[in-house]
Amino acid sequence: MADFFSLGIETSCDETSASVVCNGRKILSNVVSSSLKEHSKYGGVVPEIACRAQLETISIVVEKAIKDAGINKSELNLIAVTYGPGLVGALLIGISFAKGLSISLNVPLIGVNHLQAHLYGNFFQRIKPEFPYLGLVISGGHTNLVWMKSFVNCKILGETTDDAVGETFDKVARILGLGYPGGPVIEKKAAQAHGDKINFYKSSDSESLNFSFSGLKTAVLYYVKKNPAPVSAVAKRFQSAVGDILILRTRNAIHITKAKQLVLGGGVSVNSYLRKRFADMAREEKVKLFLPDVRLCLDNGAMVAGLGYQLFLKGYTSGIDLSAVPDLEISKVR
């Protein structure tokens, strides 16, 4: 069979990314441009800034992805694009661009769920997950435990009742005066802490599959108001408490589903401390753990191109009426 080239476009938040993937598994190019630094002084993503950056870079990023892949535009077989969840304006820029390409090249268009795409980041590995599996998406806007039966059949088992994990990293970084994005800087600070043992939070031994992070965030806020502890020590305790919450709920889900495989995805899964916690827990629970390559944890076009290909194989395509769905749930395909 001839090779099938899918182009993936991702513009759901502050990254503009495009990638060409061959047969859903081989990444030929993956170009990522980020407006991250421009948001830093505001302590979070400013939608207007993100959208302007998307508009300015989208055509350059797509052209480069096609060039880096060493193919000609006319060889593309499918245009895949994230259609939600995300910032509506940012999503629409990617969707409009994808539609234009699909029409001008006369190739099919497919809208892809960003959260499912994060889990697809694991399918580029030599050994890939087998359905059904337990998925955990930990990103800036979402915290979802899901039972994945196939690329098109997914059931939500648990979600956050307040803030998402990545959002909590970002808010705590703001409390600690560390800027945006919070994840990388908190991880770095935590690694610098030695000896300072502080404790300001006790996680509950809940049997629930739902997550809650706002209590932890508030505990950090009150602790630093009253105690002159080193930032590194607070960051370390915070990060370990995030690990406790994530591991407890995921362990509950493993017991309930009797899952044999656990698949992680989303920006927070790049965190090496959390990766180690999950590796330890997976060993104890005798489940096979899949972690995306660190280059595929944050938002990227490859995961969109790859999942788009799989959906296309299952007979899915999108019409020219494809629109952004900012609050799209992980369980929805189309």
Residue 183 touches which of Zn ion, ligand KG4, none (Cβ within 5-8 Å per kind): ligand KG4
| Matching residue, tokens 């395509």 | 317
Locate 96 and state its tokens.
């409009």
Cα 216 from Cα 299, distance rounded (Å) = 26
Q: Is 299 a residue that touches Zn ion (CB under 5 A)?
A: yes
Using CB under 6 A, which of 43, 111, 135, 141 touches ligand KG4? Answer: 141
Using CB under 5 A, which of 139, 143, 212, 261 touches Zn ion? Answer: 139
Site string for ligand KG4, 292-311 (x = CB under 6 A): ------xx------------
Q: Is 140 a residue that touches ligand KG4 (CB under 6 A)?
A: yes
Task: Provide the minimum distance between the beta carbon of 118 and Zn ion in the complex, in angstroms, as a whole number.
Answer: 6
Q: Is 310 a residue that touches Zn ion (CB under 5 A)?
A: no
Nearest CA-CA partner of 77 in 11, 23, 132, 138: 23
Which residue lies nearer to Zn ion by CB, 13 or 92?
13
Task: Provide the minimum distance between the beta carbon of 142 and Zn ion in the complex, in angstroms, as a whole number.
Answer: 8
DSSP letter at 140? S
DSSP letter at 334? -
Task: Provide the minimum distance between the beta carbon of 15 and ligand KG4 in the complex, in angstroms, as a whole number.
Answer: 7
Residue 166 touches which of ligand KG4, Zn ion, none (Cβ within 5-8 Å per kind): ligand KG4
Nearest CA-CA partner of 141 in 158, 159, 156, 155: 159
Residue 187 touches which of ligand KG4, Zn ion, none (Cβ within 5-8 Å per kind): ligand KG4
Cα 169 from Cα 297, distance rounded (Å) = 16
Cβ neighbours for 280, distance < 8 A, ≥ 6 positions apart:
none
The 3 state secondary structure assigned to 210-237 is CECCHHHHHHHHHHHHHCCCCHHHHHHH
Stretch of 2-10, 33-41, 60-68, 134-142 contacting ligand KG4, by CB under 6 A: 134-142
Using CB under 6 A, which of 13, 172, 220, 307 touches ligand KG4? Answer: 13
* Angle, CA of 158, 91 and 246, to the nearest 5°: 25
Which residue lies nearer to Zn ion by CB, 116 or 139?
139
* Sign of the alpha-carbon dihedral angle for 263, 267, 268, 272: positive
Cα 142 from Cα 37, distance rounded (Å) = 22
Which residue lies nearer to ligand KG4 by CB, 13 or 98?
13
- What are φ and ψ of residue 232, in 5° steps? -60, -40
Which residue lies nearer to ligand KG4 by CB, 6 or 139?
139
Using CB under 5 A, count the residues that bind Zn ion: 2
- Rounded to a whole number of angstroms, the CA Rg of the chain reads 20
DSSP letter at 160? B
Site string for ligand KG4, 239-278 (x = CB under 6 A): ---------------------------xxx-xx-------
Which residue lies nearer to ligand KG4 by CB, 133 or 180?
180
Locate 145 and state its tokens.
């435990």
Q: Is 169 a residue that touches ligand KG4 (CB under 6 A)?
A: yes
DSSP letter at 318? B
155 CB neighbour count, 10 Å cutoff = 13
Which residue lies nearer to ligand KG4 by CB, 8 or 183?
183
User: Which residues within the stretch 174-193 sit at the binding site for ligand KG4 (CB under 6 A)?
Assistant: 181-184, 187
Which residue lies nearer to ligand KG4 by CB, 85 or 129?
85
Nearest CA-CA partner of 266 in 2, 7, 12, 1: 12
The contact set with ligand KG4 (CB under 6 A) reads 13, 139-141, 166-167, 169-170, 181-184, 187, 266-268, 270-271, 298-299
Task: Give the binding site for Zn ion (CB under 5 A).
Answer: 139, 299
